[in-house]
Structure 1
C-alpha cells in the first residue's frame, strides 16, 4: 500500500456516524416488536438508540461523542446490572442487529464483518455476565474498548 494512503477505521469503513445511527434506530424499532426482547427494552429512554450508536461508533474508531458527553464504559456496564439477560436474549439481540446491518447494506466484506461480529459477541457476552449482578467492582476509569482491523479491545477484567 502506498505510504500516502491511510487505512480507514472500522467506523469510516462502515459509513461513519449516519450509518451507526441509522443502524441502531431501525434495529431498536425491531427490538420493540420482538416478543423476547421487547420486555427488556420497553422502558428504554428516547435517547437509548443514539447512545448505543455513539458507543459502538467510538469503539470502532469514531469520534468520542459517547465518552465525552453521554457516559463511559463503566456507565455502560452499569446499565446492564441486575437485568438478568439470558443467552437467548443475547443471541436474539445479535441476530436482529446483524439482520438490520444486512438490510441496510453495511459492509459485508469478511474483514469488516469479522471485526463487527467479534465485537458484538464480546460485548453481548459481557452484558449477560454483568446482568447477573446488582453491583460490580470495576475501575470507573476503565477505558472504552477499541476495535480495529484484527485488533480487539483487550481482555475483560471484572
Structure 2
C-alpha cells in the first residue's frame, strides 16, 4: 500500500481475488452464446493468464509483462478476431456480474476505477481486433489507477 492508499489490485484482494474473478468469468463466457465463439480455442491456462494481466494493470506485480511479453502478447491474442460491439458489451457485462459474484468491493471509488478500465480495455481490444489494425508498438501494459490511465514504462 502506498501513502495515498491501496492500489486497485490491493483493494480487490490481490492475486487470489483476480484468480477467482477469471475462473467464474470464463465459466460464464464458454456458456454464453454471444461470446463462446470468440473463446472456442481457449487454452486451459487462459483464465490464469488474464488474472495475471489484470493484476498487473491494477497495480500488482509486473508478471504478465515479465513472463508473457506484456502488451505485444495481449494485442496478439486479439489480432484479427474482429470483436463486435455487442460482444464487447457482453464481455463487460459478464465481467461485472462475475465481480459481484466473487465479492469484489462494491464501494463507488473501487467500482469507478474497475469499470473505467473494463470499458477502456475492452474498447482497445475491440479496435485492435479489427483486420488491418495497427496497435501501438510498446511492451508494457497501461497501468490503471484511481480513474486515470497512467502510461507504462516505455
TM-score computed with the length of structure 2 as normaliser: 0.91
Cα drift, residue 45 of structure 1: 1.2
In terms of mean alpha carbon deviation, does 82-91 or 71-80 score higher?
A: 71-80
**Aligned residue among 139, 142, 147 for 2:144:** 147
Q: Which residue of 2 aligns with 1:132?
A: 130
Give per-residue Cα distances to partners, 1:2-60, cap 9 Å, x unaligned: xx966111100000000001100110011000011111101111111111100010000
Q: Which residue of 1 aligns with 2:105?
A: 107
Q: Secondary structure at the match of 2:150?
A: coil
Q: Which residue of 2 aligns with 1:52?
A: 50
**Pairing 1:22–2:17 present:** no
Q: Which residue of 2 aligns with 1:63?
A: 61
Q: Which runs of 5+ in 2 are unaligned?
A: none
Q: How far apart, in 1, do the equivalents of 2:103 and 2:135 lie?
A: 39
Q: Which runs of 5+ in 1 are unaligned?
A: none
Native 8 Å contact 2:53 2:64 kept in 1: yes
Q: How far apart, in 2, do the equivalents of 1:89 and 1:135 lie?
A: 18
Query: What's the RMSD between the two structures over aligned residues?
Result: 1.6
Q: How far apart, in 2, do the equivalents of 1:42 and 1:64 lie?
A: 28
Q: Which has the larger radius of gyration?
A: 1
Cα drift, residue 134 of structure 1: 4.4
Structure 2 vs 1, CA of residues 134 and 101 (structure 1 numbering), >3 Å: closer, same or farther? same
> Runs of at least 4 residues of structure 1 off by over 6 A?
none
Q: Which residue of 1 aligns with 2:94?
A: 96
More helix by share: 2
**Aligned residue among 41, 44, 61 for 1:43:** 41
Q: How far apart, in 2, do the equivalents of 1:142 and 1:19 lie?
A: 25
In terms of mean alpha carbon deviation, does 67-76 or 49-58 score higher?
A: 67-76
**Aligned residue pair count:** 150
TM-score computed with the length of structure 1 as normaliser: 0.89
